[in-house]
């Protein structure tokens, strides 16, 4: 065993130093600040758990947490459903599959902010014009109500992330052993049965990865939220990341925002770890 | 062979580490080099993106006149981004010599860094009332950028065609009358609606519109608002009436209507007759239709029923502050530059003609103010027919985050006006405890 000798640590050093400087130290500082009345300029006095007590009574924070949870659950289901469907389409024997792969993946190459503005244009202008033409009132109010703002975000996010998730599923689908599928076919399994009992369990590892990615991405969403709705109307489509940003930079209560961020971190960590643990148990080893 | 590979790896890792360290070292060196020679370096950290280029040109001129001063400008635009950027700039230890502050709250936050400016010529020349927000214990801590004002910007041609004389609009009743006339002639005038109310822009409703009705309550004094523990909303009925009027006759839905739709798409293309905006909208209108911007627009006051119905809200949007924690010579050089900018002949010309500012100082040739909106604002300020700006004295985040978003609630019919007012009052009190 020479893994723990001097050279081992030397090789690790650059990464460790970088990680400590940009992740661990700020994190610890953040924890410290969350116990003070820091306003971004001066640290202020030590206030103990006051910030944490306040935030559980903060209706706006709780509302944004609930909104984010709803958004995440629906988005995770939709993105994975669409991603898997797209993957199944492009791995089936259709001629344009390469073109389709590229097309489906394309939205993921555009930055979140820009996507938000593009979709804002679609929802506000295109939807309204179509609504005017066919005389549908409900198409003309997009993004001006909480519900349409919510679904606008879900549509935007699904459109953007489904292609990326599709790529992950494709990788697993292509790795499926052909003999298993063939054997099931000979045994007389219908295509649905084949999918349900052979394909589905075998791509389970892809679920673990995809769910983790979608879950953490939707929970921490900020830029799409900012450019599409900006939290409006009346802050009702404000997600946690944005709420924390506003607490810090609009209301200038940095320590309070820091406390919120730590609670948020804990929630995301618990949810993500639980999800990975749960998914892992369902994976089938070959 | 294995040994060789190991050595190569070691070398690579060493290289990475040293280059990392070297990068850190470099930053320090650069800082040091700025103090080289006899030159004094003044770092300016400012927020007004619109005049960045003109400002840089003027600064270059100053540097030519004063070869021993080197001015570095950093511009970070947008209200909230600037605040965050300024904080990180200070936190990094690389403090700017001149930076921007907005009002009493900023003064309180930054008071450990603000140099007294009472002895500067610029402070001497500042117009009455423009220094209120930055004066603490009769010590001036900031210098005004300029003056700005807002009201209802209207389309002169449409008013003429509808047979309305803008001069006759002096109170709420006559405004309502005019709006109804315009609305009844929508088809002939080829407009979509009378107003465009940008409910999405919380600063338009929560800061500007509300200020018109809250300023009288605090004697137009930003410090009174800043020191007040409570707010009464004395003119809340008048406030509601104007908001309702704008909303009722606006293009719908108002909650998702933003600044660019309001000013550029609807007003500049003459699809609405009137918008609530300020002289800063001139640039946007000019960008779409210079001819229209030059000759086709005017500004009307926002009438406060039961109070003054003819005042334009005019105020100072931002102040310059000098950092007192730096070397004495840097502080002096900063003050000299400010004095030069606002009181020397060359500076004055630049302020009015290049920056297109409405000066907040005495002794300017105001006939050079060219655009109609700035002119209206300046005339109102000359005549004393103004309403003060007190929204810088609102509790932090109250105007936009609290009142503005509750107004959105009201516009979406999710809350009554009483609920909006009550929750705004409660929020004011709780943040002033």
Per-residue pLDDT band for B91 (boundaries 50, 70, 90) equals confident
> Among B96, B103, B427, B431, which residue's Cα sits nearest to residue A253?
B431
Q: Between β-strands B98-101 and B148-155, what pairing exists: parallel, antiparallel or unpaired?
A: unpaired
| Cβ within 8 Å, pair B412-A41 | no
CA distances from A17 to A30, B6, B20, B27, B109 (A): 19, 21, 10, 18, 34
Residue of B nearest to A232 (CA): B200
Residue B162 near residue B223 (C-beta atoms within 8 A)? no
Per-residue pLDDT band for B15 (boundaries 50, 70, 90) equals low
With 80 as the cut, is the pLDDT of residue B10 above it? Answer: no
Its sign, for the CA torsion B150, B392, B107, B99, is negative
- pLDDT value of position A47: 86
CA distances from B167 to A198, B115, B299, B305, B370 (A): 81, 46, 10, 18, 21
Over the stretch B371-396, which tens digit does the pLDDT of each residue have? 889 988 888 888 888 888 998 889 88
Per-residue pLDDT band for B89 (boundaries 50, 70, 90) equals confident
**Is any Cβ of chain B less than 8 angstroms from the Cβ of A13?**
yes
- pLDDT value of position A108: 87
> Among A83, A80, A75, which residue's Cα sits nearest to residue A152?
A75
Q: What is the ipTM score, two decimals?
A: 0.74
A9: closest CA of chain B, how far (Å): 10
- pLDDT value of position B339: 92
- pLDDT value of position A198: 84
Over the stretch B265-323, which tens digit does the pLDDT of each residue have? 899 999 999 999 998 888 889 888 999 988 899 999 999 888 877 788 999 988 999 99
Per-residue pLDDT band for B130 (boundaries 50, 70, 90) equals confident
Per-residue pLDDT band for B37 (boundaries 50, 70, 90) equals low
- pLDDT value of position B29: 39
Tell me which chain A residues have a C-beta less than 8 angstroms from the C-beta of B3: none
> Residue A38 — φ and ψ, nearest 5°?
-50, 130
- pLDDT value of position A136: 79
Which stretches does DSSP call E strand in B255-387? Answer: 272-278, 297-300, 312-315, 319-322, 386-387
- pLDDT value of position A177: 86
Per-residue pLDDT band for B39 (boundaries 50, 70, 90) equals confident
| Cβ within 8 Å, pair B255-A14 | no
> Which residue is listed with tokens 């309550």?
B217
**Is any Cβ of chain B less than 8 angstroms from the Cβ of A97?**
no
With 90 as the cut, is the pLDDT of residue B153 above it? Answer: yes
- pLDDT value of position B155: 93
**Is any Cβ of chain B less than 8 angstroms from the Cβ of A15?**
no
Over the stretch B227-249, which tens digit does the pLDDT of each residue have? 899 998 889 999 999 999 999 99
Dist CA B287 CA B298 (whole Å): 17
A91: closest CA of chain B, how far (Å): 41
Dist CA B175 CA A194 (whole Å): 73
> Among A155, A268, A273, which residue's Cα sits nearest to residue A217?
A268
Average pLDDT over residues B84-95: 85
Identify the segments of chain A with pLDDT beneath 50: none
Mean pLDDT of chain B: 85
Q: What predicted TM-score, i.e. pTM, was given to this entire model?
A: 0.80
Residue of B nearest to A6 (CA): B10
List CB contacts of A147: < 8 A, sequence separation 6 or more.
Answer: none
Dist CA B313 CA B149 (whole Å): 5
B202: closest CA of chain A, how far (Å): 9
- pLDDT value of position A166: 93
Domains along the sequence of chain A with CATH = 35-285 (1.10.3720.10)
Buried b (16+ CB within 10 A) or exposed e, B368-379: ebebbbbbbbbe
Tell me which chain A residues have a C-beta less than 8 angstroms from the C-beta of B104: none
> Among A230, A278, A258, which residue's Cα sits nearest to residue A28?
A258
**Is any Cβ of chain B less than 8 angstroms from the Cβ of A232?**
yes
Of B10, B90, B414, the CB nearest to A7: B10
- pLDDT value of position B337: 92
Of B10, B16, B255, the CB nearest to A233: B255
Which of B256, B403, B411, B423 should we substitute to test contact with A (largest number of A Cβ atoms within 10 Å)?
B256
- Chain A, residues 143-172, CB within 8 A of chain B, namely 143-145
Dist CA A233 CA B144 (whole Å): 34
Residue A267 sits at the vertex; the CA angle it makes with A266 and A272, to the nearest 5 degrees, is 100
Over the stretch B136-145, which tens digit does the pLDDT of each residue have? 888 899 999 8
- pLDDT value of position B261: 87
- pLDDT value of position B111: 87
Which of A11, A38, A144, A242 should we substitute to test contact with B (largest number of B Cβ atoms within 10 Å)?
A144
**Is any Cβ of chain B less than 8 angstroms from the Cβ of A18?**
yes
**Is any Cβ of chain B less than 8 angstroms from the Cβ of A7?**
yes
Of A11, A39, A250, the CB nearest to B80: A250
Over the stretch B41-78, which tens digit does the pLDDT of each residue have? 999 998 887 788 889 999 999 999 989 999 999 888 75
Bridge partners of B319, per DSSP, are B101, B144
């Amino acid at each position: 065993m020479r893994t723990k000798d001097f050279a081992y640590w030397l090789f690790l050093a650059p990464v460790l130093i970088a990680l400590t400087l940009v992740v661990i130290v700020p994190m610890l500082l953040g924890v410290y600040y969350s116990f003070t009345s820091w306003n971004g300029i001066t640290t202020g006095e030590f206030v103990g758990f006051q910030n944490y007590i306040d935030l559980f009574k903060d209706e706006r924070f709780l509302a944004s947490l609930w909104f984010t949870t709803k958004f995440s659950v629906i988005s995770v289901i939709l993105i994975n459903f669409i991603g898997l469907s797209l993957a199944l389409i492009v791995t089936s024997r259709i001629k344009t599959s390469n073109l389709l792969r590229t097309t489906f993946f394309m939205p993921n190459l555009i930055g979140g902010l820009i996507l938000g503005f593009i979709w804002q244009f679609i929802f506000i202008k295109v939807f309204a014009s179509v609504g005017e033409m066919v005389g549908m009132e409900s198409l003309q109010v997009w993004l001006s109500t909480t519900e349409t703002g919510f679904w606008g975000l879900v549509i935007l996010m699904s459109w953007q992330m489904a292609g990326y998730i599709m790529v992950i599923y494709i990788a697993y689908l292509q790795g499926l052993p052909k003999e298993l599928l063939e054997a099931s076919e000979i045994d007389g399994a219908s295509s649905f049965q084949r999918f349900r009992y052979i394909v589905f369990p075998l791509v389970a590892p892809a679920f673990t990865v995809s769910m983790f990615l979608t879950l953490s991405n939707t929970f921490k969403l900020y830029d799409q939220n900012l450019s599409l709705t900006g939290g409006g109307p009346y802050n009702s489509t404000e997600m946690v990341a944005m709420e924390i940003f506003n607490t810090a930079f609009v209301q200038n209560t940095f320590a309070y925002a820091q406390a919120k961020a730590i609670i948020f971190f804990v929630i995301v960590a618990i949810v993500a770890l639980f999800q990975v643990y749960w998914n892992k148990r369902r994976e089938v080893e070959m | 062979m294995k040994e060789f590979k190991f050595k190569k790896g070691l070398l690579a890792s060493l290289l990475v580490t040293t280059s990392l360290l070297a990068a850190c070292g470099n930053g320090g060196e650069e800082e040091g080099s700025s103090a080289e020679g006899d030159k004094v370096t003044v770092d300016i950290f400012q927020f007004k993106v619109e005049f960045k280029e003109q400002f840089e040109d003027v600064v270059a001129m100053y540097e030519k006149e004063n070869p021993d001063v080197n001015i570095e400008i950093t511009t970070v635009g947008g209200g909230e981004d600037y605040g965050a950027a300024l904080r990180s700039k200070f936190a990094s230890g690389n403090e700017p010599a001149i930076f921007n502050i907005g009002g009493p709250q900023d003064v309180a936050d930054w008071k450990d860094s603000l140099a007294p400016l009472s002895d500067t010529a610029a402070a001497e020349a500042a117009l009455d009332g423009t220094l209120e927000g930055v004066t603490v214990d009769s010590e001036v801590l900031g210098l005004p950028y300029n003056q700005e004002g807002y009201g209802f910007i209207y389309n002169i041609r449409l008013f003429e065609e509808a047979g309305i004389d803008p001069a006759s609009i002096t109170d709420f009743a006559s405004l309502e009358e005019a709006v109804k006339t315009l609305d009844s002639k929508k088809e002939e005038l080829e407009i979509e609606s009378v107003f465009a109310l940008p409910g999405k822009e919380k600063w338009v409703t929560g800061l500007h519109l509300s200020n018109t009705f809250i300023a009288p309550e605090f004697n137009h004094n930003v410090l009174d608002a800043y020191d007040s523990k409570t707010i009464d909303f004395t003119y809340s009925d008048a406030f509601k009436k104007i908001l309702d009027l704008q909303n009722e006759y606006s293009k719908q839905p108002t909650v998702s209507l933003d600044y660019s739709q309001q000013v550029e798409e609807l007003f500049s293309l003459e699809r609405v007759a009137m918008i609530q905006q300020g002289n800063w909208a001139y640039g946007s209108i000019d960008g779409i239709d210079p001819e229209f911007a030059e000759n086709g627009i005017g500004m009307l006051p926002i009438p406060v029923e039961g109070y003054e119905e003819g005042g334009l809200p005019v105020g100072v949007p931002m102040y310059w502050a000098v950092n007192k924690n730096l070397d004495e010579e840097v502080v002096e050089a900063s003050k000299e530059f400010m004095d030069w900018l606002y009181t020397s002949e060359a500076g004055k010309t630049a302020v009015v003609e290049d920056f297109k500012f409405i000066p907040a100082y005495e002794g300017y040739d105001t006939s050079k103010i060219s655009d109609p909106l700035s002119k209206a604002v300046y005339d109102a300020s000359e005549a004393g027919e103004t309403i003060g700006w007190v929204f810088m004295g609102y509790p932090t985040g109250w105007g936009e985050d609290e009142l503005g978003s509750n107004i959105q609630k009201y516009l979406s019919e999710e809350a009554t006006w009483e609920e909006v007012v009550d929750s705004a009052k409660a929020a004011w009190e709780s943040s002033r405890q």
